[in-house]
Amino acid sequence: MKPHMQTLITLLKKNDLKGLLKHYKASEESDNLAQLAFVFQQGQKNTAGFEFYQQLACKFIESNGLPTPLIAQMNNNDILSFFTPALKETDKATDPENSKDNFNKVNQHQRNVLHYLFSPPDLQQQQQQLPPFNYLRSMMLFESNESLQEALCQRDTQNLTPLETYFSTNQNLDDLPAHEFTALLALIEIESKQHSVDKSNGKTVLKSVNALCQNQSVPVTNELQRLILIATYYSKSIEFIVKQMS
Domain boundary assignment for the chain: 1-64, 65-245
Query: What span, in angstroms and rounded, lies between the C-alpha atoms of 111 and 80?
Result: 16
pLDDT score for 96: 66
Query: pLDDT averaged over the chain?
Result: 92
Query: What span, in angstroms and rounded, lies between the C-alpha atoms of 160 and 137?
Result: 20
pLDDT score for 121: 83
pLDDT at residue 99 tops 80? no
**Predicted confidence band of residue 126 (pLDDT cuts 50, 70, 90):** confident
**The amino acid at 112:** N
Digit-coded pLDDT (tens) for 138-175: 998 887 678 899 999 999 999 999 999 999 999 999 99
Digit-coded pLDDT (tens) for 38-69: 999 999 998 899 999 999 999 999 999 999 99
pLDDT at residue 116 tops 80? yes
pLDDT score for 145: 76
What integer is the mean pLDDT of 74-78? Answer: 91
Phi, psi of 227 (to 5 degrees): -70, -35
pLDDT score for 144: 64
What integer is the mean pLDDT of 219-225? Answer: 96
pLDDT at residue 136 tops 70? yes
pLDDT score for 221: 95
pLDDT score for 101: 87
Q: At what angle do helices 3-14 and 17-26 cross, to 10 degrees?
A: 160
**Predicted confidence band of residue 123 (pLDDT cuts 50, 70, 90):** confident
pLDDT at residue 13 tops 70? yes
pLDDT score for 2: 86
What integer is the mean pLDDT of 109-113? Answer: 97
pTM assigned to the model: 0.93
pLDDT score for 190: 94
